[in-house]
Amino acid sequence: MRYGYFDDDAREYVVTTPHTPYPWINYLGSEKFFSLVSHQAGGYSFYRDAKMRRLTRYRYNNIPADAGGRYLYVHDEGDVWTPSWLPVKADLDHFEARHGLGYSRITGSRGGLTVDTLFFVPLGEDAEIQRVTVTNDTDAEKTVTLFSFVEFCLWNAQDDQTNYQRNLSIGEVEIEQDGPHGSAIYHRTEYRERRDHYAVFGVNTPADGFDTDRDTFVGQYNGLGEAAVPRSGASANSVASGWYPIGSHSVRLTLAPGESRNLVYTLGYVENPDEEKWADDDHQLINRRRAHDLLGRFATAEQADAAFEALRAHWTSLLSTYSVTSGDEKLDRMVNVWNQYQCMVTFNMSRSASFFETGIGRGMGFRDSNQDLLGFVHLIPERARERIIDIASTQFADGSAYHQYQPLTKRGNNDIGSGFNDDPLWLIAGVAAYVKETGDFSILDEPVPFDNEPGSEVPLFEHLTRSFEFTVENRGPHGLPLIGRADWNDCLNLNCFSTTPGESFQTTENQAGGVAESVFIAAQFVLYGQQYAELAARRGLPDVASRAEGLVEEMRTAVLKDGWDGRWFLRAYDYYGTPVGTDADPEGKIWIEPQGFAVMAGVGVDSGAAEQALDSVGELLATDHGMVLQYPAYTTYQVQLGEVSTYPPGYKENGGIFCHNNPWVIIGETVLGRGDKAFDYYKRITPAYREDISEVHKLEPYVYAQMIAGKEAVRHGEAKNSWLTGTAAWNFVAVSQHLLGVRTDYDGLVVDPQIGPDVPTFTVTRVARGATYEIAVTNSGARGSRGTLVVDGTPIEGNTVPYAPAGSTVRVEVTL
């Protein structure tokens, strides 16, 4: 069952009913100011950091769900409704929510009135614009009153939910009825002391009234759905003092038959330098100049429209870097629009703010951010460069890493644990991808500190060396890498042995056993160790390169010898040196991560072990909804394995379909030349292919979710945790670079499609290093066929198209 449809030409998903199985959201903003917006206008806004600088309040875990947003109440001769359906929930004659690239447009009609609101964050602005069009669809004059509503969060989102003894006394606002560009409400809580920022919520017309006190607006013991002021039909002109500051303006409109009127609301963040903080000598009135400038830039609908067009053009240009026309509309819309869009959102958010992540818990993950980079480096290489330097600057001199850093300070912290021994190697993955995309080897010379300590700077390449050496130095009894607290699988905590309820497996004491080893990190070392060796060779360090290659070969041998169970790769050795992920165990016999990663790294391809491992995956892990993480799931708590078995069978890391690792198998299948299998697996988890089962999948059909419940789960096929997941980047890598097979390399563009017979012809347009490659593929789908290439009419050997000068267009014909 569907709850909407893709409008491919507009690059929008159109939700056609408010009654989706879960709020289906979108993100606004791409620089510093961000908003989350659901199809019912729920969500919140923040400046740079969802924890420290939250502008508006949202209630996670609330009933009814999706509580808190920017709402526009309509009072039409006693009939009160909201065009976003929530919060009033009055039936609508028409409802539509269009989620587009960096904007959403929600339209509701009732009683002959249509209200259409376009929400977006303009480029270069720290503000959310709500551009409203109100239309009288009847043939009689209509007089209606609109009441806007936002509820201010007292900046620190965590404190906002915990510190009521203080917070209920500190709320402050300023009200401007006749400002230079209409009416505005200023949220200035804590500005009197150390904050240099305030929020402004304005409308581009003199309002008929205002409210800033929530209890007055909503009415004691009411919910937002029964808000008192919209019902009464007139603002109460309430002034907040402590308690709960809000922003609301009422605007009364008389519309002739068929007439439309526009309004522009602006929710902005303003920061003042210390010496410009105040408008008066007594330090009582905030300096509104910057706010007025902002409101002045959106004083008319035409100004808002121009900013919106600039945003559209920005996305058109971003997405022109990679596109496909394949005849499979689901494939095209995922590759051309939604998968890349989700990659940009993970670039902006990491794992901080979604409808599953509160914006309070996590900052920028070391491993997550490096992997996210694989999905957006082609879109914004300059920002990828900056991101790499930020990440590497938090690394320790011994090569190990903080698990995360905070976006505001860019400093690493141990808040969600430390000692994850896979972390360092992801840096090599990120840097290699960046250099292949850009050819910018100079980044390797960039001076980068350790742990942000001034004076400790060494060239970035040295950081990669430390990453590589960290694994070399931390090997266990079988010559496999020690796992530390965990590897990619945060929940495989082999040195933890926690028996205290509620204790975090990530931060509790970890026993330094020196025995527990990870076959996953071993495979990771083979893959990224090779990439490190290649970078060293290209840097003119043949000795470093050949030593690294030797160590990689050692590891490959160790994996095949002691990391192999007979029909698949083992997962690990535990604290006692006992194998994990072996057929000998009744549960957790086979785990997905080492199978996919080892084959991606080429381990066992010659000996047939790789093929055997992926056949076992197909037999034991694959389901119609994707491949489960391990099988059988654990049915009881396994103290020696850590968090993994805390999840009920079939969920999350305990036998859930953890979508992030499915593309490793997909890529692995392409390494084996089995494109048909790869494409089949791709479709099972890719949201556009799951749109028809939205009632089962539940979450947005346009973005990946982190997890789909596995075959042993009660709700097999149900997704959770959409948007902020490494699934986005890895699936884009899988589909763009391996299924469609177009990827940047050091010396040229590699064209090596492996997608099977379902896509007999397709064209890819790829812009790389300033040149445009038009690649037309005729595909027999035969397994293992590597294709022949004709470049600008001339056949070439191999499958690397040499880079052409910037500005040129290269035509590539591929037959396989």
Shortest Å, Cβ 534 to ligand GLC? 25
* Structure-block tokens of residue 222: 């009411």
CA 475 to each of CA 216, 250, 399, 554, 571: distance values in angstroms, whole numbers, following the listed order: 64, 67, 14, 12, 15
Cβ proximity to ligand GLC, 172 vs 368, nearer residue: 368
From candidates 288, 290, 367, 387, binder to ligand GLC by CB under 6 A? 367
From candidates 146, 491, 526, 580, binder to ligand GLC by CB under 6 A? 491
Of the candidate spans 22-30, 110-118, 458-466, 485-493, the one that interacts with ligand GLC by CB under 6 A turns out to be 485-493
Cβ(446)–Cβ(459) under 8 Å? Answer: yes
Q: Which of 808, 769, 807, 810 is nearest to 792 (CA)?
A: 810
674 binds ligand GLC (CB under 6 A): no
Shortest Å, Cβ 490 to ligand GLC? 3
Cβ proximity to ligand GLC, 97 vs 629, nearer residue: 629
Of the candidate spans 141-149, 228-236, 487-495, 767-775, the one that interacts with ligand GLC by CB under 6 A turns out to be 487-495
287 binds ligand GLC (CB under 6 A): no
Shortest Å, Cβ 492 to ligand GLC? 8
Residues 397 and 405: their CA atoms lie apart, in Å, by 16
489 binds ligand GLC (CB under 6 A): yes
Interface with ligand GLC in residues 608-667 (CB under 6 A): 643, 652-653, 660
Shortest Å, Cβ 130 to ligand GLC? 32
Residues 32 and 42: their CA atoms lie apart, in Å, by 20
Cβ(423)–Cβ(403) under 8 Å? Answer: yes
Shortest Å, Cβ 657 to ligand GLC? 13
Q: Following DSSP, what letter does each residue of 167-230 receive, concatenated?
A: HTTT--EEEEEEETTEEEEEE-TTTTTT--EEEEEEESS--SEEEEEHHHHH-TT--GGG-HHH
Instruction: Give CA angle at 616 (613, 620), nearest 5°.
Output: 145
Dmax over CA atoms of the chain, in Å, equals 85
Per-residue x/- track, 445-464, ligand GLC (CB under 6 A): --------------------
Shortest Å, Cβ 407 to ligand GLC? 15
Cβ(29)–Cβ(314) under 8 Å? Answer: no
Cβ proximity to ligand GLC, 129 vs 659, nearer residue: 659
Shortest Å, Cβ 658 to ligand GLC? 6
Cβ proximity to ligand GLC, 357 vs 517, nearer residue: 357
Residues 423 and 412: their CA atoms lie apart, in Å, by 13
Shortest Å, Cβ 715 to ligand GLC? 17
Cβ(261)–Cβ(255) under 8 Å? Answer: yes
From candidates 34, 338, 488, 702, binder to ligand GLC by CB under 6 A? 488
372 binds ligand GLC (CB under 6 A): no
Q: Which of 791, 790, 789 is nearest to 799 (CA)?
A: 789
Cβ proximity to ligand GLC, 13 vs 730, nearer residue: 730
39 binds ligand GLC (CB under 6 A): no
Cβ proximity to ligand GLC, 321 vs 508, nearer residue: 508
Residue nearest ligand GLC by beta-carbon distance? 490
Cβ proximity to ligand GLC, 421 vs 489, nearer residue: 489
Residues 271 and 435: their CA atoms lie apart, in Å, by 36
Shortest Å, Cβ 420 to ligand GLC? 8
* Angle, helix 519-538 to helix 460-473, in steps of 10 degrees: 140
571 binds ligand GLC (CB under 6 A): no
202 binds ligand GLC (CB under 6 A): no
What residue has token string 């980047």? 729
From candidates 272, 506, 595, 754, binder to ligand GLC by CB under 6 A? 506
Cβ proximity to ligand GLC, 184 vs 401, nearer residue: 401
Of the candidate spans 213-221, 268-276, 299-307, 362-370, the one that interacts with ligand GLC by CB under 6 A turns out to be 362-370
Per-residue x/- track, 711-730, ligand GLC (CB under 6 A): --------------xx----
Shortest Å, Cβ 647 to ligand GLC? 7
Q: Which of 419, 384, 385 is nearest to 404 (CA)?
A: 419
292 binds ligand GLC (CB under 6 A): no
H-helix or E-strand spanning residue 72: strand 71-76
CA 729 to each of CA 102, 339, 734: distance values in angstroms, whole numbers, following the listed order: 18, 8, 9
Of the candidate spans 180-188, 243-251, 365-373, 380-388, the one that interacts with ligand GLC by CB under 6 A turns out to be 365-373
Considering Cα of 373, then 378, then 383, then 386, what sign does the dihedral take? positive
Residue of 49, 160, 368, 490 with catalytic role = 490
423 binds ligand GLC (CB under 6 A): no
What residue has token string 């408008």? 279
Shortest Å, Cβ 666 to ligand GLC? 17
Count of residues interacting with ligand GLC (CB under 6 A):
17
Cβ proximity to ligand GLC, 121 vs 519, nearer residue: 519
485 binds ligand GLC (CB under 6 A): no
520 binds ligand GLC (CB under 6 A): no
490 binds ligand GLC (CB under 6 A): yes
Cβ proximity to ligand GLC, 213 vs 653, nearer residue: 653
Q: Which of 310, 335, 312, 315 is nearest to 324 (CA)?
A: 335
The radius of gyration of the chain from alpha carbons, rounded to an integer in Å, stands at 28
Shortest Å, Cβ 591 to ligand GLC? 12
* Structure-block tokens of residue 403: 């698990």
Burial pattern 341-369, b for ≥16 Cβ within 10 A else e, equals: bbbbbbbbbbbbbbbbbbbbebbbbbbbb
Q: Spell out the alpha helix ranges (H) of 563-653.
A: 592-600, 609-620
Cβ proximity to ligand GLC, 653 vs 669, nearer residue: 653
Residues 436 and 27: their CA atoms lie apart, in Å, by 29
Give catalytic status of residue 126 as yes or no: no
Of the candidate spans 91-99, 280-288, 363-371, 711-719, the one that interacts with ligand GLC by CB under 6 A turns out to be 363-371
Per-residue x/- track, 339-358, ligand GLC (CB under 6 A): ------------x-------
Shortest Å, Cβ 486 to ligand GLC? 7
Of the candidate spans 88-96, 390-398, 486-494, 772-780, the one that interacts with ligand GLC by CB under 6 A turns out to be 486-494
Cβ(43)–Cβ(97) under 8 Å? Answer: no
DSSP-based three-state secondary structure for 455? coil
Cβ proximity to ligand GLC, 133 vs 158, nearer residue: 158
Cβ proximity to ligand GLC, 211 vs 422, nearer residue: 422
H-helix or E-strand spanning residue 424: helix 423-438
Going by their DSSP bridges, the two strands 113-120 and 33-38 should be labelled as unpaired
HEC-encoded secondary structure of 395-420: ECCCCCEEEEECCCCCCEEEEEEECE
From candidates 183, 438, 706, 731, binder to ligand GLC by CB under 6 A? 706
Count of CB atoms within 10 A of residue 776's CB?
A: 15
Considering Cα of 315, then 317, then 321, then 323, what sign does the dihedral take? positive
480 binds ligand GLC (CB under 6 A): no
From candidates 357, 368, 437, 813, binder to ligand GLC by CB under 6 A? 368
Active-site annotation, residues: 490
Give me the residues that bind ligand GLC (CB under 6 A), please. Answer: 351, 365, 367-368, 488-491, 505-506, 643, 652-653, 660, 706, 725-726
